Structure 1
Amino acid sequence: MNSIEIEHLTKDYGNGKGVFDVSLAIKQGEVYGYLGPNGAGKSTTMRHLMGFSKPQSGTVNILGLECLSNQKEIQGRLGYLPGEIAFQEDMTGIAYLKLIAKMRHMKDFSYGEKLIDFFELDPSGGIKRMSKGMKQKIGIVAAFMHDPQILLLDEPTSGLDPLMQNRFVELIEKEKKRGKTILLSSHIFEEVEKTCDRIGMIRKGKLVKEFTVDELRHSQLKTYKIEFAVSSDMEKMKEVYPDAVFKEDRRQMIVSINDGQINALIRQLAKCDVHFLKEEKHTLEEYFMQFYGGNQNV
């Protein structure tokens, strides 16, 4: 069963901005990472899911309900953390959270209190005087405290220190075990790799690639770094692997091969005196940079 379904969503703001014919489906209990450069269309997609924007064409549904016409019903079962949080800065943090709880008709604030403790947050101070990290914690608590079925999180750890980023990952893992459906947009690749089941890449408003995190981890292409005891062995390997990268001063070779070529590599290395052999893990960040090629106009 799909909790979120987007079919052929288009919203054109002009000058290439917006989203164009985006289709994706997120299953119940799945954590979906939504990646792309600034301005690629991630926040626009989330605003449509929140019912804040009307599609020019296509459909956007959550739990089988059309998002714009069923906005109030959906939002009662939804937690949303926008990329830019609009606070009433004349309030204290706790007053803001209690106001949101009242608007949601929450009768029990105990989960909110647990989250406040979990993120080591003191919400008693004025929001205006809070740091970016403190404000972000307030936003996270507000998104999660009513225990929603579905969470839309736009750059959720922006401004958090590494310790609190790890706490956030822990929270996502707990919510995932409880069967929550989560759409997470983030620029922190390690965070996405740790928490997400599937990843979609959006470029210039178009969804251009979808893959599972397991596919990334078990990619057929493997990269190995090898250091030789003597330079003559490295010279021999140049003849066998002319496309590999060689670091002469360190007597090292870096070679990328597919699974079917591993045995051949081992046979060649058996003829050499090898100091070490190490597999270099392909990260999501490397995949992202290769995919977008460093082009700023993405």
Structure 2
Amino acid sequence: MSDLIQVEHLTKDYGKGRGVFDVSFGVSAGEAFGFLGPNGAGKTTTMRHLMGFVRPDSGRVRIAGMDCFADARRVQEKVGYLPGELSLAGDMTGDGFLRFVASMKHVRDSARCRALCDRFEVDRKNRIRKMSKGQKQKIGLVCTFLGDPEVYLLDEPTSGLDPLMQGRFLELLEEEKARGKTILLSSHLFEEVERVCTRTAMLRAGRIAAIEQVQALRGAQNRVFTLRFETEKAALLFADGLTGAARNGCVVTACVQGSVDSFLKRAACYPVADLQARSQTLEERFLHYYGGEEQ
């Protein structure tokens, strides 16, 4: 498949280390591609270039063969875009704003709008300025999926949504992917990208640290265990020789990759008073796989 989205050596330097630097990746037609990174990594800057809002200092950004800045209007006609920071007309009702956006997009059939509103339980009667962040985000989502865009550019799309609505959004994204839509999903949550995307670019400090198959990242996920032992001696014996373990008194914290079977069997040999487990945060995984700040 040809790359429908092409980013080639994109650089935009805002000074003091802010911006994006020599960013290159491609997204094939019909592919769902993740864009992972902590806040400030350069995800939104890249998205804004793809929408033609910003002219790059150097490099090229194209969608469907069109230059995203020179042909911004034509590009935007193909794209459903959800910005990371929504700016909505506060004095309009939800219904009025949706009708306004539908008219701008030349969407005459209101059936899809109604279906999306029902799906996300959108408040269409109140004025937008009185809505919660979550309700405003739902309005933004409905606007993004109105019509039948060829490409979706989604910048932190589940911000402000409760877990139920996050799940419904991801279900919708999977449906659009099955319909052959091309998706670029920007997020700092690995779980979002893992469910929908086949590949992901990992950004750090405005540069791509890696582009990986999501399946490979899934297999490399680590678990962080915090164990509190009944005695400091037990904690010392358990941690002794255990790779990736740190001890503080009776508490041992350890990072485990892959199967946890042998780790738990080892812990069972000692008097454990408490055990907690969590997945590594994205920042921890970045530091683990791509080194510290000096690298």
Q: Work out the CA distance in 2 between the residues paired with 1:51 and 1:281.
A: 40
Cα distance change on mapping 1:53 and 1:107 into 2, 3 Å: same
Structure 2 match to 1:55: 56
Structure 2 match to 1:85: 86
Structure 2 match to 1:120: 121
Structure 2 match to 1:187: 188
Farther off after superposition, 130-139 or 186-195: 186-195
Match of residue 287, structure 1, among 266, 285, 288? 285
Q: How does 1:1-298 map to 2 (within 5 A)?
A: 1=1, 2-219=3-220, 243=243, 245=245, 285=282, 286-288=284-286, 290-291=288-289
Shift of 1:153: 0.7
**DSSP-derived class of the 1:38 partner:** coil
- Are the equivalent residues in 2 in contact too, given 1:217–1:282 (CA < 8 A)? no
- Are the equivalent residues in 1 in contact too, given 2:224–2:253 (CA < 8 A)? no
The RMSD of aligned alpha carbons is 3.8
Shift of 1:255: 8.2
Higher-Rg structure is 1
Q: Work out the CA distance in 2 between the residues paired with 1:283 and 1:246.
A: 15
Residues 122-167 of structure 1: CA distance to partner in whole angstroms, max 9, x if unpaired? 2121001111000000000000111211111111111111111111
Q: Work out the CA distance in 2 between the residues paired with 1:105 and 1:178.
A: 21
Residues 189-233 of structure 1: CA distance to partner in whole angstroms, max 9, x if unpaired? 3222222211111122111211111001234999999xxxxxxxx
- Are the equivalent residues in 1 in contact too, given 2:220–2:257 (CA < 8 A)? no
Q: How high is the TM-score relative to the length of structure 2?
A: 0.80
User: What 5-or-longer segments of structure 2 have no aligned partner?
Assistant: 227-234, 271-276
- Are the equivalent residues in 2 in contact too, given 1:10–1:18 (CA < 8 A)? yes
| Identical positions, percent | 47
Farther off after superposition, 94-103 or 283-292: 283-292
Cα distance change on mapping 1:149 and 1:121 into 2, 3 Å: same
Cα distance change on mapping 1:282 and 1:68 into 2, 3 Å: same
- Are the equivalent residues in 2 in contact too, given 1:190–1:284 (CA < 8 A)? no
Q: Work out the CA distance in 2 between the residues paired with 1:38 and 1:27.
A: 26
- Are the equivalent residues in 2 in contact too, given 1:33–1:196 (CA < 8 A)? yes
**What number of residue pairs does the alignment pair up?**
286
Q: Work out the CA distance in 2 between the residues paired with 1:129 and 1:208.
A: 41
Q: How high is the TM-score relative to the length of structure 1?
A: 0.80
Counterpart residue type for residue 189 of structure 2:
I
Q: Work out the CA distance in 2 between the residues paired with 1:26 and 1:152.
A: 11
Cα distance change on mapping 1:81 and 1:215 into 2, 3 Å: same
**DSSP-derived class of the 1:88 partner:** coil
Counterpart residue type for residue 290 of structure 1:
H
Shift of 1:289: 5.3
- Are the equivalent residues in 2 in contact too, given 1:81–1:153 (CA < 8 A)? yes
Counterpart residue type for residue 204 of structure 2:
R
